[in-house]
Amino acid sequence: MKRYAFIVNPKSGRGDKKVLIYNLEKHARELNFDFEVFLTLNPGHATQIAQQAIGKFDAVYAVGGDGTVNETANGLLESKTALGIIPTGSGNGIARHLKIPMNAIEALSVLVKGEAVDIDVWTAGTSLFYMLCGLGFDAHIAKKIKGIKSRGFLAYIRLVLLEFGRFKPKNVSISWDGGHYSGNPFLVNFANGSQFGNNMKIAAKASITDGFLDLGIIERIPWQLAPEIVLRMWNGTLHNFKYYTAFRAKEFKIQTDYSGINIDGEYQNNKKEFIVKQSSEQLSVLIASGGKQLI
């Protein structure tokens, strides 16, 4: 009998987690597999639980948002224990890129019948990320959103529009093989996958398995164009926006006056100089059967 661990972040997203856990347990019994539920107590706890689960379970499911997924993944690197994602966060960028259903029960049903694939793992300084690393307005919103009680797409859009005119860009210098950028950009994003979250696409054509990062830069733009950026991210046409430029590489060297970065949706402090590059480690992730060509 298959055995799975559920690592649940009780503070992620919205909804009653007791009801969610009850429904997951009920569905697990219907699918006839053994399981154990673990609740995270503080930042970093999901990593500890995942490390201790290696070899004891057939897969470990992160039940939460992108931050919970990041922490759980950090604990499973280089192991044969696959990561499953049950999206219950506010953005769920990684799950959306992997085409995982947003309904928790549907996600579980798909993934227990799915397949495991190895995805690219990246480092920004000493921090690991799987979907994105961002500077500028990207990180500014990641920091601000922690302080609001209401979550979800509409809350995210309201925050973006509110902070758009308040944000002051700072200096960023980036070098990579064959290229260099220097300026005061509004937003800088290193995308392993397509999503910011909430189905907002920063790099619509990015692949999470191709060994490249897509660097996207948005220059300072008139406030009147804020709705257009939102619309273009929503419909996947940001690459046609005249204030947006994109590059692809395997390693980037960054110098910046920004003091914080966005790592998979979570704000972190950063050094003024750091390198973004592919890690030698790999992560096994569950996706829908036959879905590798979509990621």
User: What does the pLDDT read at residue 149?
Assistant: 67
> b/e for 46-81, b at 16 or more Cβ within 10 A?
bbbbbbebbeebbbbbbbbbbbbbbbbbbbbbebeb
Please check whether the two domains, 3-113 and 127-278, share a CATH topology: no
Q: What is the mean pLDDT of residues 109-135?
A: 96
pLDDT at 256 over 80: yes
pLDDT at res. 58: 95
Closest CA to 122 of 291, 259, 243, 254: 254
Taking the domain 3-113, which CATH number applies?
A: 3.40.50.10330
Q: Does residue 113 carry a pLDDT above 80?
A: yes
- Which of 167, 139, 143, 129 is CA-nearest to residue 252? 129
- Between these two residues, 14 and 264, which has the higher pLDDT value? 264
β-bridge mates for residue 216, sequence order: 189, 246
Closest by Cα among 284, 144, 263, 257 to 196: 263
pLDDT band at 282 (very low <50, low <70, confident <90, very high): confident
Q: Is the pLDDT of residue 17 over 90?
A: no
Average pLDDT score over the chain = 92
Segments making up each domain of the chain, as ranges: 3-113, 127-278
At residue 5 the predicted structure's pLDDT band, cuts being 50, 70 and 90, is very high
**Packed helices 153-164 and 226-235: angle between N→C axes, nearest 10 degrees:** 150
Nearest Cα to Cα of residue 294 among 51, 114, 169: 114
pLDDT, mean of residues 154-162: 81
Give the chain's count of helices (H) and strands (E).
8, 20
Q: Using the predicted structure, report yes or no on whether residue 259 has a pLDDT greater than 70.
A: yes
Architecture of the domain whose range is 127-278 = Sandwich (2.60)
